[in-house]
Chains A and B, each alone.
Chain A
Amino acid sequence: MIQFSHVYKTYLGPVHALRNIEFEIDKGEFVFLTGPSGAGKTTLFRMISAYDKPSSGVVRVSGSSIDELNANTVAYFRRKIGVVFQDFKLLKDRTLAENVALPLTVKGHPQKLIDQKVNELLDQLGLSHRKYQYPAQISGGEQQRVAIARALIHQPGVLIADEPTGNLDPQLSEEIMDLLESVNAQGTTVFVATHDHELVRRRAKRVIELAGGQIVRDSR
């Protein structure tokens, strides 16, 4: 589902953000990506979500080679994945329902179908009573759940989450991780970047650890 093959990423400077990264994540796996700040976790995730291209090597996600995407095809690639960020990235001037609906809206689905799917998902996440509220009116944990709902509504094969619990307290972090595990249980491949070792230890999942832009451990 996700494949990195001899991937290097060098920024101007030169700064070697990633060096010879090589790993594979199968369909339906739940994998943690850990490492200290500056280890290259975000760079790696930016490549998976096609926000960046490798300097060399091959990154393949859901059958697409990131290097071969262009301005026209990148949008269609992103419809196959779901992405969650630490800072939620919700549109402040849209209601929660509108935020969750975005991936279906941009695909041009009929409004009736969108409403039905949004209601179902918000119900599952216990947020249906807040659907007409705005992001600023709800807590950080609820905002992250809305972001996850948005990442899942189009039923992507892969969900990547970059520090999804970074802004949340321990109890909310556990709730979010439970939610991600239940998403994984339904067949979605989940790849989570975090520097919270305690949280990773409790979940007993495969762990890929980065340090200085290189993989130093893969618990597979």
Chain B
Amino acid sequence: MKNLMSSYARTWAQHTGIQFATLSILSATLTVVAIVFVTSFNVNRIMTQWGTDIKLTAYLENDKDLDFALLEKKIQGMDSVKAVEFVGKERALQIFNNQLKDITPEFLSENLDANPLPNSFEITLKEQIKNSESYEVLTKQASLISSFEGIEDVSYGQSWLKNYSAFVSGVTTSGIVVILILLVGSLFIIGNSIRSSISSRKEEIEILELVGATRFSIRLPFVFEGFVTGALTSAIGLFICFFLFSWAKAIISQSAVLARLSETMQFFDYSFIFLFVLGGALIGALGSFLTVRGINDGWSASQGAN
């Protein structure tokens, strides 16, 4: 370990400029990766929370004499249903009035002399809406409930939900694509840095070969160099991302419209931070390994001479 550390220190001493440039570019790249992660994580988190609130409303036929208790029991007996609540037409009107009284009080007092609202059931499902698959489950359940005797219509914000699930899937997919592109880019950046390191230490490699160093022992310091660079830059990336996240959260919390969002926003937990830094280190080691794999084969001096 002491030898590996001193080898890394020598690289810094010999190529301060290149090392600094590599560190800066990689830190910037991994900051973007961390931002994509934290954005995707929080969008999913916020959306999932909204998704938890989603309920189906089954409206009952007005002019039929229905056994509400029996219908409620039938719906409650469905596998995916968590809770069913009967909302009588009087209560529905009361809720309606409560929701509208602050917005259009004159409309309520002047025009509503009869109750046009139907009886209904408010149905909460066991699964929360997370993606298009759960959206399909929801539509299937809605379609099943609407086929029951006495059910006029089932509403669950169809068009909003469709867009919502597509948005969540879109954010996740584009996040994965962006992260993959940036990680492949990181491999190249680390590979180039290691290549320049190898090129300037060609004589050292030849001398090490001359005294009987194995391929493994010659390559190891470069792979270690990539590992440390990857770990360092991912830690720096997370650090910068944390500051940007805190700044964004503070701005959002000051907005009257979005203030509630900031309560849901959350940075990564310690286990994710550890995994992110470890992932960066492994990508660095892999980038180095792919580069050194083709360079030193125990005969580099003879290849150079011929």
A residues apposed to B, CB below 8 Å: 11, 46, 49-52, 70-72, 74-79, 83, 89-91, 93, 102-103, 105-107, 150, 154
Contact = CB atoms under 8 A, between A and B. Distances in A.
Interface stretch (B205-213, B264-272, B283-291): B205-213
Nearest to A99: B207
B212 A89 contact: no
B212 A107 contact: yes
Interface string B283-306: 000000000000001110110011
A205 B211 CA distance: 27
B217 A106 contact: yes
26 contacts: A11-B306, A46-B305, A51-B301, A51-B302, A51-B305, A52-B302, A71-B297, A71-B299, A72-B298, A75-B214, A75-B298, A76-B212, A76-B214, A77-B212, A79-B211, A89-B206, A90-B207, A91-B207, A93-B10, A93-B13, A102-B207, A103-B211, A106-B212, A106-B214, A106-B217, A107-B212
Contact of A74 (B13, B204, B299): B299
Interface of B: 3, 10, 13-14, 203-204, 206-215, 217, 297-299, 301-302, 305-306
B208 A106 contact: yes
Nearest to A46: B302
B268 to A, nearest CB: 40
Contacts of B305: 46, 51-52
Contacts of B302: 46, 51-52
Nearest to B217: A106
> Which of B14, B204, B213 has the most chain A CB within a 10 Å cutoff?
B213
Contacts of A11: 306
Nearest to A107: B212
Contact of B211 (A52, A72, A150): A150
Contacts of B298: 70-72, 74-75
Contacts of A75: 209, 212-215, 298
A89 B215 contact: no
Contacts of A46: 302, 305
Contacts of A51: 299, 301-302, 305
A49 B299 CA distance: 11
A82 B305 CA distance: 20
